[in-house]
């Protein structure tokens, strides 16, 4: 088997600066996919940008939490199911098509009582759900951990390529959060986005992937490549 990597940028639609950073990282080659938040001020801007990026896979980044101001009661699975349905409909309205994959802001799909809600939605859409499909999830390319401090070394070029070298055979999603800090950004993960972006724009990154024998693909490519079976979400 070959090693394949989906460079997936979360938070598409969060702000104009985040959208611009994701677009630049896609143009540089390291980001092949993005997960769109459909209920943010810059969501429509992201959708318009996606229209000009035909090789960018775009999935739904289900947003129940914002940055501490929830849009739905997370303790109520049926309310969350209804809200997820609304966000799927908004995605269709914004992009005119279905998402290529499904995941969640702050990974709320990991909550035991919400996991069935997300699995059902992924089955209905016929798309992979993060951590519930043959695509392995890798989330360690991140510059802020338990101590709340910024760790630039965690997202340096050398660190990233060291992580990629350890990828298993098959398909791995490399989660990332590139972007530019702007006035609209309300997030504890701020300047770290620019650190990630600088690394993803570095020409040594795609060169390193090639040297390591890891091929970059998007979620939209998986069916044509025969890299997904019929189960998708489980």
Domain that holds residue 123: 3-221
Within a domain: 162: yes
Within a domain: 196: yes
Within a domain: 234: no
Q: Which long-range contacts (CB under 8 A, 24 or more apart) does 123-127 make?
A: 123/232, 123/233, 125/88, 125/98, 125/99, 126/98, 126/232, 127/59, 127/98, 127/99, 127/100, 127/101, 127/102, 127/219, 127/232, 127/233
**What is the pLDDT, as a whole number, of residue 234?**
39
* Domain CATH number, residue 39: 3.20.20.370
Q: Into how many domains does the chain fold?
A: 1
Within a domain: 136: yes
**What is the pLDDT, as a whole number, of residue 147?**
79
Segments in the chain below pLDDT 50? 233-234
């Amino acid at each position: 088997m070959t090693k394949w990597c989906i460079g997936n940028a979360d938070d598409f639609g969060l702000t104009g600066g985040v959208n611009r950073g994701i677009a630049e990282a896609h143009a540089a080659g390291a980001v092949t996919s993005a997960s769109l938040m459909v209920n943010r001020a810059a969501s429509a801007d992201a959708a318009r940008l996606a229209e000009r990026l035909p090789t960018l896979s775009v999935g739904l980044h289900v947003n129940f939490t914002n940055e501490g101001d929830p849009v739905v009661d997370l303790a109520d699975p049926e309310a969350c199911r209804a809200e997820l349905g609304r966000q799927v409909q908004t995605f269709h309205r914004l992009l005119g098509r279905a998402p290529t994959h499904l995941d969640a802001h702050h990974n709320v799909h990991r909550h035991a009582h919400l996991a069935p809600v997300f699995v059902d939605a992924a089955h209905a859409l016929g798309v992979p759900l993060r951590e519930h499909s043959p695509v392995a999830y890798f989330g360690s390319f991140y510059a802020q951990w338990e101590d709340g401090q910024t760790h630039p070394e965690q997202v340096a070029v050398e660190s990233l390529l060291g992580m990629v070298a350890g990828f298993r055979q098959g398909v791995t999603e490399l989660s990332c959060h590139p972007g530019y800090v702007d006035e609209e950004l309300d997030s504890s993960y701020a300047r770290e986005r620019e650190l990630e972006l600088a690394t993803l724009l570095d020409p040594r990154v795609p060169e390193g992937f090639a040297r390591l024998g890891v091929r970059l693909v998007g979620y939209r490519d998986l069916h044509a490549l025969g890299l997904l079976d019929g189960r998708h979400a489980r």
